[in-house]
Amino acid sequence: MLGIFDSGVGGLTVVKELLRRHPSSGFIYLGDTARTPYGNKSAETIRRYAVEDARFLVDKGATTILVACNSVSAVAMDELRKEFPTIKFFEVITPAVLSATGKKIGVIGTRATIGSGVYERRLKERDPNVEVISQACPLFVPLVEENWINKPETKRIVRTYLEPIRRQQVDALILGCTHYPLLTKVIRVSLQKRVKIIDSPSALMDTVEREAASELVDGTQKYYFTDPSAATDAIATKWLGTMIKGVRAELA
């Protein structure tokens, strides 16, 4: 069975992409809303949380796990694979790196993701001559979670953060955080038209369809949160366009 986890609601963009392609696919989602966000916490703390999150999904029967969180994908994959050797893990960084073509690539993400340097390292492994321009955008997650998607204040903050990337005239921009696809329209107008925007949920689902098609089978869809609330249900319902009622997850 397919398990999907994230620090909070951001990973629901992965669920959204999964459901767009396979509306009846079964899965369990875990959002660690009691400890969200992860992106400004230390690598050590993120690793501990990631193992606890994955253990919850494994105990519920997950055999393939999508790590729908760039911060976890950036710092905790070795830990997860060591702790759960029989589970097949997919993370969000490799698929985005493989989709990003061009000589100059921009990457935006949380402080943890950008600070880890993982995108730059992976992009250079693929093409040692690529130029990478990285920018941490720590205010994007709270803006998305407040649903300030189309506010003038948000447009201005996006423009401020993206200015160094716009100046460098990149060929592609990787949205290195699962929250960011919700800001795509605003990001789009802050960059030159020809810039290819790569969002990780879509790149991830390409990979899953290729490498784990047998897991994409019809089944029940269940949403767990470590701090379920009316606010979380409301944001999930709005993003996914269908009524969501989260269930409390008690992590071991």
Task: Give catalytic residue positions.
Answer: 69, 177
Residue 34 makes contact with a second copy by CB under 8 A:
yes
Residue 200 CB, nearest distance to a second copy (Å)?
Answer: 22
User: Taking CB under 8 A as the rule, which mask of x and - marks residues 98-127 in contact with a second copy?
Assistant: -------------x----------------
Classify the C-alpha dihedral 141-146-151-152 as positive or negative. Answer: negative
Q: Which helix (H) or strand (E) segment is 143 a member of? A: helix 140-145
The tokens for 63 are 């055999």
Distance of alpha carbon 162 from alpha carbon 131, whole angstroms = 16
Residue 227 makes contact with a second copy by CB under 8 A:
yes
Residue 156 CB, nearest distance to a second copy (Å)?
Answer: 5
Write the CB contacts of 235 (distance below 8 Å, at least 6 apart in sequence).
9, 145, 147
Q: Could you tell me how many residues of this chain bind a second copy (CB under 8 A)?
A: 26
Closest C-alpha to 13, from 243, 214, 135, 183 = 183
Q: In the chain, count of helices (H) and strands (E)?
A: 12, 10
Of 104 and 111, CB closest to a second copy: 111
Of 154 and 221, CB closest to a second copy: 154
Q: Which residues bind a second copy (CB under 8 A)?
A: 33-35, 40-42, 45, 111, 138-139, 142-143, 145-146, 148, 151-153, 156-157, 160, 226-229, 231
